[in-house]
Amino acid sequence: MLKVSSLESGYGETQVLHGVDMDIRKGSVHALLGRNGVGKSTMLKTLIGQLPVRRGRITFQETDITALPSYAIARHGMAYVPETRDIFGALTVRENLQLASRLAPSEGAWSMQDTLAFFPNLEKRLNNGGHQLSGGEQQMLAIGRALMTDPNILILDEPTEGLAPIIIQQIFEKLLALKARGMTILLVEQNLHFALGLADDISLMSRGEIVWHGTSETLAHDTAAQSRWLGV
């Protein structure tokens, strides 16, 4: 559903991605893993149009989106939750969610009720400001907001970063439930255990290139690849 070939991008003089190939199947969870600074977040920013493509091609649901601006890519159904989560701290949880549904009105989209039923933690916090939420609640709000835009793919950059183990487990179960509903997910993670439990397919990145790809099951048994590319 999302095909990337020979993708190059970077910042100014610095080239970060040196010809990335990836193929994400509809309904699958695909994890992109690698050490710090190898280009994972750069890859996501390039996919969603926040960084221009220098070379290569991105095809999403048979449409060439390589040169599209980020708002047009979002309209094709790519929802992105950045590392920083980017919720509106000065707005309440209710206002954050209302904004999402207003920005992307769509027939099949989740309503606020659907979103609160899925994330009951948020229901108790509806009138709280975004900045009053815990890290886990912020992550749930960010994911909830993304879901309300009726995405065809959900792109998550390190959703577990900085969260306590019990909260990581909650996020894990939510993503597993989304997977069971058929949601396509592209996940960047530092937590190998989390990624292996959730993903069907894995790509390992090093210095802006994909150096290994295969199923989670294969990686779980490939301790050489784990130690070489992830340092575990």
Ligand X SMILES: Nc1ncnc2c1ncn2[C@@H]1O[C@H](COP(=O)(O)OP(=O)(O)OP(=O)(O)O)[C@@H](O)[C@H]1O
Q: Does 159 bind ligand X (CB under 6 A)?
A: no
**One-letter amino acid of 125:** R
Build a one-symbol-per-residue string for 25-44: x at contacts with Mg ion by CB under 5 A, - elsewhere.
---------------xx---
Kindly state whether residue 34 participates in binding ligand X, applying the rule CB under 6 A: yes
Distance CA 132, CA 225 (A): 41
The CA-based angle 132-134-136, given to 5 degrees, is 140
Near ligand X in 11-30, by CB under 6 A: 11, 14, 16
Q: Is 139 a binder of Mg ion (CB under 5 A)? A: no
**Among residues 39 and 151, whose Cβ is nearest to ligand X?**
39
The stretch near ligand X (CB under 6 A) out of 33-41, 94-102, 115-123, 221-229 is: 33-41
* Segment contacting ligand X by CB under 6 A, of 38-46, 89-97, 98-106, 169-177: 38-46
Q: How far is the CB of 102 from ligand X (least distance, A)?
A: 30
In the complex, what is the shortest distance from the CB of residue 118 to ligand X, in angstroms, rounded to a whole number?
Answer: 27
